[in-house]
Structure 1
Amino acid sequence: MNVRPMLSRLAACTVLLAAAIGAQAAPTVSGRQLSVGAADVQQYLDGSFPRTQDALGGLIVMTMSHPQLALPQGNRLDLGFDVALGTAGSAPAPLGKVKLSSGLRYDAQTQGFHLEQPTVDDFTPANNGGKLDSRTRGLLNAWLDDYARREPIYRIDPSVAAVLGALQVQSAQVENGKLVVNFNQDLGKLIPAGVLGR
């Protein structure tokens, strides 16, 4: 009996299980406030990129990859990612790295934190002399608007979000290196013990 394939499968299952447990990292609750740390948000982003944006009926494809989150002091988050541009049928060529800043909102429909009014703050070209021309900037802004509207940068676990859905959101912001949402009721009384970190 060949043990090697069985050990390989066992190792793969262990890695998948660890990834699944890590992906379900619990937010922290304190009174009416629920917060998520930067490392958990980064892990979520790593799993949801790369992303693509088609333009001109698919003639141009823009790919965003390698997201890098920072939660500095203040009420806006920083997010950077690599941008590549390709035409239909061709491999995307690296364009550069985009850095943006954004406010934050919590959407009960998607059960997640979303970018709010993101702005492109900086662009570092992949090649000397490269630049973010007006057409590419327009594509990027269109993707950002769509992404901010539809896709969360972090989604709350459905079992927790089901409880939160009945509550009113009072505010969402970046605070002390975390994404924070404040509700109108004490969460500790509504969410079963052991579901959230404290």
Structure 2
Amino acid sequence: MSLRPLLTRLVLSAALVAAAVGAQAAPTIEGRQLSVGAADVQQYLDQSFPRNQDALGGLLQLTLSQPKLALPAGERLKLGMDVAMATAGGAPTRLGTVELSSGLRYDAQTQGFHLQQPTLDEFIPAQQGGRLDARTRTLLNAWLGDYAQREPIYRLDPAVAGMLGALQVQSAQVRDGRLQVTFNQDLGALVPAGMLGN
């Protein structure tokens, strides 16, 4: 067997796997509400991390990775992340895991769900006796504010988002283990059934 057909098959297989992993599940639409399940949001987050936050002109770098989403009963989602710190270009040292809670907003410009007023609730140190010092907490809060403003925790497929046009967003919330946005019009007539997850 020649090497070229084998390499071609390997490349095609890798491309198919990448396409399957990158495929975005369709949202569910009921009347004026569009919702996305926790598993789909987790998949989006997995592809969006790790993320870095520089400070002091690059002398410090905070790395956040391994996002873990939970959508408990109530109006706030929970998100845990591993935190590591590197100084002066050195290797990052894992500090521990931060757990935050947040409300939810939908931004029509980014076509995505964003954190709304997130708060750091808990820090679980990687080593016994570890703690989140003031400098690291300040860096984390700066990153969190920027991330909540600019980056969605889930972005709608552009084909679906484009069909929503200039609809007005009435609310966004965590409900029944899903992220949900309510618009001012029924969505069923705007988005073809073949593009929906329901």
TM-score above 0.5, yes or no = yes
Q: 1:10 offset after TM fit, Å?
A: 2.6
- Equivalenced residues, count: 196
SS in structure 1 at match of 2:193: coil
- Say whether residues 1:137 and 2:132 are aligned partners: no
CA distance in 2, matches of 1:129, 1:20: 40
Q: Which runs of 5+ in 1 are unaligned?
A: none
CA distance in 1, matches of 2:189, 2:13: 40
- Counterparts of residues 108-119 of structure 1 (less than 5 Å): 108-119=108-119
Q: 1:7 offset after TM fit, Å?
A: 2.8
Q: 1:162 offset after TM fit, Å?
A: 1.2
Could you list the per-position Cα deviations for residues 135-182 of structure 1 after superposition, in whole angstroms to 9, with x for gaps in the alignment?
110110000000000000000011111122410000000000000000
2:177 aligned partner: 177
SS in structure 2 at match of 1:160: helix
- Counterparts of residues 1-198 of structure 1 (less than 5 Å): 1-2=2-3, 3-21=5-23, 24-198=24-198
Amino acid at match of 2:180: V
Percent identical residues: 68
CA distance in 1, matches of 2:47, 2:164: 24
RMSD across aligned C-alpha pairs, in angstroms? 1.0
Q: 1:128 offset after TM fit, Å?
A: 1.4
Name the TM-score, length of structure 2 as normaliser: 0.96
Amino acid at match of 2:59: L
